[in-house]
Amino acid sequence: MDAAIEQLIQEANHLIEQGAVECGLNRFKSLTRDYPVNSQVFLHYALSLDQLSKESEAIPNYQKALELGLSSDDERTALISLASSYRNVGNLDAALETINQALEKNKDHPAVLCFYSLILLDSNQPAQAVKTLGGLLLNEVDPEKLAGFDQALSAKFKELIEE
């Protein structure tokens, strides 16, 4: 990212962190007008809005950042955050579609899987949600910590969907 733009983003974030929320958000709005093709400006504006529980305002900024193109890490952050914002405003279909895009490129990433599980739970798919979290647990935890129950747990989590 261009160092000058990075500095401007940091200044806007600093204003928000120091309690000058409207001033910081106005700075971000100005940045989106001044740098309309900079995906980082839109991503960080969206993240700031999201942290302030302004998900419906964050959504179009995530969309714009994704449209402009992001690094793979930033794209994952934007997709997870966009899916979460959709979930928080009650648009579960869009949340599921968006988190599935994140899963296509990050199928084993813990944060993607956790948000996928939350969206599944809200979409009345609790068995798939538990199976997903169980699979994540089995992949991330040292088998020794499961005291020999890793195979039994794996079988039980698989059964959740087959029932």
Task: Convert the pLDDT of each residue in 18-29 to its tens digit.
Answer: 999 999 999 999
Collect contacts of 28-35 with beta carbons under 8 A, ≥24 apart.
31/5, 32/61, 32/64, 35/5
> For residues 160 and 128, what is the distance between their CA atoms, to the nearest angstrom?
7
pLDDT digits (tens, 9 = 90+) for 4-44: 999 999 999 999 999 999 999 999 999 999 999 999 999 99
pLDDT digits (tens, 9 = 90+) for 109-163: 999 999 999 999 999 999 999 999 998 998 888 888 888 888 888 888 778 766 5
The topology (CATH level 3) of 3-102 is 1.25.40
Q: Among positive and negative, which fits the CA dihedral 161, 77, 136, 115?
A: negative
